[in-house]
Structure 1
Amino acid sequence: MFRSLRGRLIVLLVLLVVAAGATATLMIGLFHQSAAARVGQAAAENSRACESIAAAYRLHGAELAGFSSAPDNAAERARLTALVQGALRNRPGVQGGIWQGDMGSVAYAFPTYEGATARTDPPGGELPRIRATNAAASSSDRAASNRYGVLSGTLLIAACPLPGPVPHLSAWTMTWTFTFAGSSYYQMMAGQAVLLVTVLVAAALLTHLTMTWSRHVSQIEAALNTYDVADMPELPATRERELDRIVLALNEAGRRLSAARLRGDQLARQMATAERLAAIGRVAAGVAHEIRNPIAAMRLKAESAVAGGAERQPQALRVILGEIERLDALVRRLLSITEHDEPKRERIDVSAFLDACIAQHTERAAAKQVTIACTADPEEARFDPDQLQRAMDNLILNAINAAPEGSRIDVAAVHRTDALVLSVHDRGVGPPEAIRDHLFEPFVTGRPDGTGLGLSIVREVAEAHGGSARFILTDNGTSFEIILPWPTS
C-alpha cells in the first residue's frame, strides 16, 4: 500500500479522519472540563448565598427574638422574606428561603427573577429535593448541598441550619447552571462544525485526487499495453501537471525509441548483408582453395603426359580421374550442406547403429593404434539413419585424426531428460583456439588436408532433426555432441 500513490492518499485520508476525531474528542473533553468548572463555581456561589442568608439571620437575631416557635403569622413571614430578599439581592439567578421541619417553606424570595411577575413561592416541582436537602442540614446541624443533573444543565441546592429560638429552622438556596448553553457551548459547536466541514472538504478533495490519478494511470497503462514497446503510442495529456510531465517524457522516449529502432533496423540489414557477403567470400575462398589443388595436379599430369608421349598417358589419365573423383566428392559434400533434405525417421536399434558407424573406421583407427569403445543407453530411437550416419562418420574421422597414438575414442548415445545425445570423445588437444567459435561453418578447418565441410554437415543434420550440435573442451580431451529432441519423432 505504501508503495503506491493511491495507498498513500488513502493513508493520508485515514490519518486526517483520525486527527479530526482526536481533535473533536479533545474539544468535547475541554468543554466538559469547562462545564464542570462552571458547575463547581455555581455550587460555591450557591453555598455562599445560603451562608449569606444565615449570616443575615444571625445579624438580626435580636429583632427576631420574639418569634414564636412556629412563625406562621403574616408579619413574621414577611420579615423573614425581607431578610432572604436582602441576602439574595446581589446574587443573580439564585433563589432561596427559610425552611422549618415539617411545616415546609416559611419564607421565599427570588429577587433577581427576570419574569413579568415576581415569584412568591418555591417551584413546586423541586419541593421534594428542597425538603431533602433541608432535612439533611437540620439532622446533621451543618451545611448540606445536592446536585441534580438534567438534560440541559445541573440543579444546585444548598441548605444550612439557622440557630435560634425556632427549632429545625434552616436556610436554603437554589440555582441552575445550563451546561449546553452559553459562550463555551456555542464555541464548541462552532469549532465542531468548522472541523466537520474541513474534514469533509479534505476527504472530498483527497477522494477526487485519488480517483483522478488512478483513472489517468489506468488509461496510460492501457494505452501502453495496447501497443508493442517498439511502437509506443502518443499518450494524450491528462491536465494534471505532474502526470503530464511523465506523459511528455514517455512520448519523448517513444519518439527516441522509434528513431533508435529505425536506426537499429538499418544497421541490422547492413550487418546481415555484410555477413552474407563475408560468408559468400569464405565459401568462395574455400571452394577456390579446394578446386585449385586438383586442377593444378591434373594440369601437371596432362603436361607431363603430352611431353612424355604415349607411355606416360595411362598413368596421367589415372591421376586425372582420381582428381576428378576428388572434385566430385567435394561437390557432393557441398550439395549435402545446401540441399536440406527432410529426415526420413525410422525406429532404429541404437546400439547396432553405433556399431555400424564404428565398423567403417576400425581399420583406419587400428592403423593409428587407436581403439574405439561404444556405449548406448537407450535401446531404440527414431531418426534418419543415413543422415545421422553421415554426421557420425565425420565426427569419428575427425576424432581418429585428432586422437594421440595408443589412446581411445568413446562413442556414446545417452538418453537425457528431453534429449538423445550422440557424442564422440577423443583424447586430443582439440582444434586451434582461433577457429573454435566458427567450427561448424563451411570450410573452417584446423588440418592442412581438411576440407572444412565435415562439421558443417554435422550441424545441418542435427538442425534438420530439430536439434543442435556443439563442441566441448574438457580436461581429458575433446567431445563433439549431436543433441536431438526426445522423443525423436
Structure 2
Amino acid sequence: MLRSLRGRLIVLLALLVCAALASGMLMVGLFHQSAAAQLAQAATENSRACDAIASAYRQYSVTHPRLVDTTNYTALSEQLNTMLERSLRERPTVQGGIWRDTTGSLAYAFPTYVGAVKRTTPPDGELPRIRAINAAAVGGDHTVSQHYGSQSQTLLLAACPLPGPIPNLTAWTMRWTLNFPSRSYHQLMAGLGVLLATVLAAAVLLTHLTMTWSRHVSQIEAALNTHDLAELPVLPATRERELDRIVLALNEAGGRLSAARRRADTLARQMATAERLAAIGRVAAGVAHEIRNPIAAMRLKAESAVAAGPERQPQALQVILGQIERLDALVRRLLSITEHDEPQRERVRIGPFLDASIAQHVDLAGAKRLTIRHSGDLDEARFDPNQVQRALDNLVLNAIEAAPPGTAIEISARHTAEAAVFSVLDQGAGPPAQILDHLFEPFVTGRPDGTGLGLSIVREVAEAHGGFAQLVPTPQGTLFEIVLPWPKS
C-alpha cells in the first residue's frame, strides 16, 4: 500500500486524524488538570479562611475571657459577626460562620456577596452539609474539608474547632467554584474548534488530492493501454504541476519514439532494398556463371567444327545440343522458383508417397552403395504431392551427393500438433559454414558443380504451403526439414 501515492496519502490522512485526536485529548486532559488545580487551590483558600476565623477567635477569646458566662447571645452574635466580617473581607466568594453543636449557627457573614440585599443567615439548602461538617470537626484538632460536585460547579466546605471558653464551638467556611472557568472553557472550545476545522480542511484537501491524482493516473494508464507502444498518444495536461511534468516527459518521449520509428522504418526499407539488390546480384552472378560455361563450350565446338570441315560438324552439333538442353533445364528450374504456383492440396497417403519418392533414386543411390529408407508416424496429410515430391527430390539428391559410401539416408514423416514434418537425414558433413546464412537463396551452393537452386526450390514449396524449410543442427549428420502446417480447411 505504501508503494503507491494514493496509499501514502491515505496513511498521511490517518496519521493526521490520529495526531488531531491525540492533540484534542491532550488539550482536554490539560484543561481538566488545570480545573483540578484550580479546585485544589480554591479548597486550600477556603481552609485558610477557616483557619483565619479560628485565629481571630483565639484573639477574641483572650480579650473576652468571660464569654462562657455570657447569656446575651444577641450581643455575642453581633461581636462574632464583626469578627467574621474582618476575617472574610479580603477573601472573595467565601462565606462562613460560627457553629455550636447544640445551638446551631451563632454567627454568619458573607462580606463579598454582590447581591442587592445583604445575606445574614446561612443558605437553607446547604444547612444539612454545614451541620454535618461542623459535627465532624467538633472535638478535633485539625480542619475538616469536604466538597460536593455538580455538573457545572463544586461546593467547598471547611470546618475547624474553636478552643476557648465556649465548648463545642466550630468555625466553618464555604464557597462555590466553577468546574470549568468560563474563560478557560471558551478557550478550550475555541482551540478544539480550530483543531477540528484544520483536520476537516486537511482531510478534504487530501481526499481531493488523492481522488484527483488517482483519476489522472487512471486516465493516463487507460490512454497508454489503448495505444500501441510504437504510437504513444499525446496526453492532455492535468493542471497538476508535478504530474504535468511526467505528462510532458511522456509526450516528448512519444515524439522521439515516433521519430525513431520513422527512421527505423526508413532504414528497414533501405536494408530490404539493399538485401533485394544483393540477392538479385547473387542471382544474376549465378545465372551468368551457369550460362557462361555452356555458351563457352558451344562456341569452342562451333569454332572447331568450322575449322575442321564438314566431317566434324555432326559431332559438334551433338555437343551444342547437349549444352542447349543444359541451358533449358536451368531456365526451367529458375521458372519453378519464380512462378509461385498455388499448391493444389489433396489428401495423400504418406507410405505410398514416400515409396514412390525413394524408387526414383534407388539406382543413383545404389551406384554409391547408399541405402534409402523411410520412417515416421504420419499416415495421411493434405498437400500438393507434385510440389512436395519436387522438394523431397532435391533434398534426396543433395543427400546422395553428400553422404559417404556405405551409409544410409533416412526420410521421415511425422506429425506435431500444428504441422506435418518431412525430413531427410544423411551422414555427410553438411553445408560449409560460410554459406549457412544464405543457404536457401538461389545459386548458393557448396559444390563446384552445383547450381544452388535445389534448396531454394525446397524453400519456395514450403512457403507456398504456409510453412518453412530449415537446417536442423544434429550430431548424427545433416538434417533438413520441411514443415507444412495443417490446412485450416
Q: Could you state the TM-score of these two structures normalised by the residue count of structure 1?
A: 0.89
Q: Determine if the alignment matches structure 1 residue 350 to structure 2 residue 325.
A: no
Q: Which residue of 1 aligns with 2:481?
A: 481
Q: Which residue of 2 aligns with 1:25?
A: 25
- Offset at 1:438? 1.0
Which range moves more in the overlay, 219-228 or 437-446? 219-228
Give the Cα–Cα distance (whole angstroms) in 2 for the partners of residues 287 and 128 of structure 1. Answer: 135
Corresponding letter in the other structure for 2:60:
H
Q: Secondary structure at the match of 1:409?
A: strand
Give the Cα–Cα distance (whole angstroms) in 1 for the partners of residues 264 and 389 of structure 2. Answer: 42
Which range moves more in the overlay, 187-196 or 330-339? 187-196
Corresponding letter in the other structure for 1:129:
R
Give the Cα–Cα distance (whole angstroms) in 1 for the partners of residues 15 and 143 of structure 2. Answer: 52
Give the Cα–Cα distance (whole angstroms) in 1 for the partners of residues 325 and 302 of structure 2. Answer: 16
Residue identity over aligned pairs, in percent, reads: 70
Q: Determine if the alignment matches structure 1 residue 393 to structure 2 residue 393.
A: yes
Give the Cα–Cα distance (whole angstroms) in 2 for the partners of residues 72 and 311 of structure 1. Answer: 192
- Offset at 1:131? 3.3
Which range moves more in the overlay, 387-396 or 74-83? 74-83
- Offset at 1:184? 3.6
Give the Cα–Cα distance (whole angstroms) in 1 for the partners of residues 185 and 101 of structure 2. Answer: 40
**Unpaired runs of at least 5, structure 1:** none
Q: Secondary structure at the match of 1:262?
A: helix
Which range moves more in the overlay, 237-246 or 147-156? 237-246
Q: Which residue of 1 aligns with 2:259?
A: 259
Change (3 A) 1:442 1:136: farther
Which range moves more in the overlay, 442-451 or 170-179? 170-179
List per-residue Cα deviations over 1:392-426 (Å, max 9, x = no partner). 11112212222222223222223234333222222
Give the Cα–Cα distance (whole angstroms) in 1 for the partners of residues 482 and 180 of structure 2. Answer: 96
Give the Cα–Cα distance (whole angstroms) in 2 for the partners of residues 43 and 409 of structure 1. Answer: 119
Q: Could you state the TM-score of these two structures normalised by the residue count of structure 2?
A: 0.89
Corresponding letter in the other structure for 2:335:
L
Q: Which residue of 1 aligns with 2:285?
A: 285
Q: Is the CA contact (8 Å cut-off) linking 1:418 and 1:487 kept in structure 2?
A: no
Give the Cα–Cα distance (whole angstroms) in 1 for the partners of residues 226 and 437 of structure 2. Answer: 41
- Offset at 1:254? 3.5
Q: Determine if the alignment matches structure 1 residue 81 to structure 2 residue 78.
A: no
- Offset at 1:480? 1.1
Corresponding letter in the other structure for 1:257:
L
Q: Secondary structure at the match of 2:406?
A: coil
Give the Cα–Cα distance (whole angstroms) in 2 for the partners of residues 307 and 263 of structure 1. Answer: 64
List per-residue Cα deviations over 1:156-202 (Å, max 9, x = no partner). 22223334565554322222332322544343333323323333333
Q: Which residue of 2 aligns with 1:194?
A: 194
Which range moves more in the overlay, 432-441 or 226-235? 226-235
Q: Which structure 2 residues correspond to residues 131-142 of structure 1 after superposition, within 5 A? A: 131-138=131-138, 142=142
List per-residue Cα deviations over 1:63-103 (Å, max 9, x = no partner). 3753479x994333333333333322222222222334475
Q: Which residue of 2 aligns with 1:130?
A: 130
Q: Is the CA contact (8 Å cut-off) linking 1:51 and 1:160 kept in structure 2?
A: yes
Q: Secondary structure at the match of 1:448?
A: coil
Q: Which structure 2 residues correspond to residues 146-295 of structure 1 after superposition, within 5 A? A: 146-164=146-164, 166=166, 168-221=168-221, 224=224, 228-295=228-295
Corresponding letter in the other structure for 2:473:
L
Change (3 A) 1:403 1:38: same
Give the Cα–Cα distance (whole angstroms) in 2 for the partners of residues 24 and 91 of structure 1. Answer: 35
Q: Which residue of 2 aligns with 1:453?
A: 453
Give the Cα–Cα distance (whole angstroms) in 2 for the partners of residues 353 and 105 of structure 1. Answer: 138
Q: Is the CA contact (8 Å cut-off) linking 1:47 and 1:158 kept in structure 2?
A: yes
- Offset at 1:376? 1.0
Corresponding letter in the other structure for 1:66:
L
Q: Which residue of 1 aligns with 2:106?
A: 106
Q: Which residue of 2 aligns with 1:54?
A: 54
Q: Secondary structure at the match of 2:478?
A: strand
Q: Secondary structure at the match of 1:450?
A: coil
List per-residue Cα deviations over 1:371-398 (Å, max 9, x = no partner). 3342212322222222222111111221
- Offset at 1:481? 1.3
Corresponding letter in the other structure for 1:25:
M
Give the Cα–Cα distance (whole angstroms) in 2 for the partners of residues 464 and 127 of structure 1. Answer: 120
Change (3 A) 1:265 1:170: same
Q: How many residues align structurally?
A: 488
- Offset at 1:277? 1.7
Q: Is the CA contact (8 Å cut-off) linking 1:283 and 1:443 kept in structure 2?
A: yes
- Offset at 1:446? 0.8
Corresponding letter in the other structure for 1:271:
M
Q: Is the CA contact (8 Å cut-off) linking 1:430 and 1:478 kept in structure 2?
A: yes
Give the Cα–Cα distance (whole angstroms) in 1 for the partners of residues 100 and 313 of structure 2. Answer: 170
Q: Secondary structure at the match of 1:133?
A: helix
Q: Which residue of 1 aligns with 2:363?
A: 363
Change (3 A) 1:420 1:166: farther
Q: Is the CA contact (8 Å cut-off) linking 2:93 and 2:112 kept in structure 1?
A: yes
